[in-house]
Amino acid sequence: MNVAVGVSGGVDSSVAALLLKRAGHDVVGTMMSVWDESLRLPEGAAPKGNACFGRDDDEIEAAENVCEALGVPFRVVDCSAEYSRVVLEYFKDEYLAGRTPNPCVVCNQRMKFGLLPAALEASGVEFDKFATGHYCRVDRAPDGAYLLRKGVDPKKDQSYFLHRLSQEQLSRVMFPLGGMTKGEVRKIAEDAGLPVPLNSESQDFYSGDYADLIPEEPREGTFVDADGNVLGRHQGYWNYTVGQRRGLGVSHTSPLYVVSIDPERNEVLLGEADALEARGLRAADASFIIPPPRREGLEAKIRSASRPVRCSISAMDADSFEIAFEEPVSAVAPGQSCVLYDGDAVVGGGVIERAL
């Protein structure tokens, strides 16, 4: 089988390519270049580090070195223009709307598992499957539908970020690491002598200040409490996100958190921890891998690192849903993804509109 593997020069994607080659597949490594020199960022910005977005020359070289060590061809696909339009514009627009974006979810659906394999195929590279180093699994339901399941390593599971993949996309993907732990992957890389950093971890979206990507001049606004009392001042609501505690610069007798954001008033509402608790949420722009098998007994994650919480679907239509949590959940942030699970299978998710 011909398999295109999305590589980054890191340990996970490199081991995925190695395992597929060892299994007898004809492998080609590929990577999308997303950096556009015409981007106008503040001087000294665009660091790469352990991040997806930034100058990618070093990452391309690292991926090329891995493919050379494996004896497989390597192709770079220039996706910079589309990345700016699809991911960076979305990121900016969401923050300016007072929401907290999830660029990795959008990038995976539309870029890594959308544009990249399509552009690679259009360039003349033929392949049957597209593989990555994500920690998740794909199998088939009795009715033939493709299922996205959590990776077996609970600390590395990345199914949350892939919940918007379609049945067509899932039909063509392979996740060689889904049944493995990070420790096992590092051991394989070390034993094989792969030229990769063995202690590398999953990448952040951007390693610099997020304000670099939001072309807004500082604009003085206010921190307020629930009664409208001014607690302090800030230089732009887009610098904050629901649940944030650090970096507020407001003195108070007890810890304060961002409870909500009002873009029109350039106002950030602060409150104590109990003000962040919610009994449910409403999500829009819903995307389901499989129809919800039932209304009760599901689990929800409201951010990638959050603990799954049992929930029930209280309302639902083609584009949105509401859920009720079995226990209070803190810091439900509009703009983030709410992902629903049935056991270890991803049902689908949506973009959080508000807490209930």
What sign has the CA pseudo-torsion 117, 118, 119, 121?
A: positive
Residue 60 has pLDDT above 70, yes or no: yes
- Mean pLDDT across 25-49: 79
pLDDT of residue 212: 82
pLDDT band at 49 (very low <50, low <70, confident <90, very high): low
Mean pLDDT for the chain?
Answer: 93
**Amino acid identity at 22:** R
DSSP 335-356: TSEEEEEETTEEEEEEEEEEE-
pLDDT for the residue numbered 74: 98
Where do the domains of the chain lie?
Answer: 2-192, 216-271, 276-355
Q: In this model, does residue 43 exceed pLDDT 80?
A: no
Do 173 and 116 meet the contact criterion of CB atoms below 8 Å apart? no
pLDDT at residue 107 in the model: 96
Per-residue pLDDT at 297 exceeds 80: yes
pLDDT at 271 over 60: yes
Please, which pLDDT band fits residue 57 given cuts at 50, 70 and 90?
confident
Worst-scoring range by mean pLDDT, 83-87, 191-195, 210-214, 284-288? 210-214
**For the structural domain made of 276-355, what CATH number should be given?**
2.40.30.10
Q: Residue range 104-125: average pLDDT?
A: 96
- CA–CA gap between residue 118 and residue 340 (Å, rounded): 28
- DSSP three-state, residue 169: helix
pLDDT computed for residue 251 by the predictor: 87
For residue 136, what are its two tokens? Answer: 């998740």
User: For the chain, first and last CA: distance in Å?
Assistant: 49
- Give the amino acid at 276: L
Give the model confidence (pLDDT) of 302-356 as tens digits: 999 899 999 999 999 989 999 999 999 999 999 999 999 999 999 999 999 999 9
Q: Which residues contact 352 (CB under 8 A, 6 or more apart)?
A: 281, 282, 283, 302, 332, 333, 334, 335, 336, 337, 338
Q: Which residue has the higher pLDDT, 209 or 134?
A: 134
- The whole-number pLDDT of residue 48 equals 56
SS3 90: helix
Average pLDDT over residues 104-113: 97
Least trusted range by pLDDT, from 43-57, 68-82, 211-225, 326-340: 43-57
| Residue predicted with more confidence, 40 or 78 | 78
Q: Which residue has the tokens 């889904």?
A: 178
Look up the CATH architecture of domain 2-192. Answer: 3-Layer(aba) Sandwich (3.40)
Q: Supply the pLDDT for residue 265.
A: 97
Per the structure block, which two tokens stand in for 252?
């108070």
Over residues 276-291, mean pLDDT? 97
| Percent of the chain surpassing pLDDT 90 | 85
Average pLDDT over residues 101-130: 96
CATH 2.70.98.70 fits 216-271, yes or no: no
Which residues, 6 or more positions from 161, have their beta carbon under 8 angstroms from its beta carbon?
104, 105, 108, 134, 304
| Alpha helix segments (H runs only) across the chain | 11-22, 57-70, 80-83, 89-96, 103-107, 116-122, 167-171, 182-192
For residue range 215-259, what is the model confidence (pLDDT) as tens digits? 899 999 999 999 999 999 999 999 999 999 999 999 888 999 999
pLDDT tens, position by position, 202-217: 567 877 778 888 989 9
**Predicted local distance difference test score (pLDDT) of residue 213:** 87
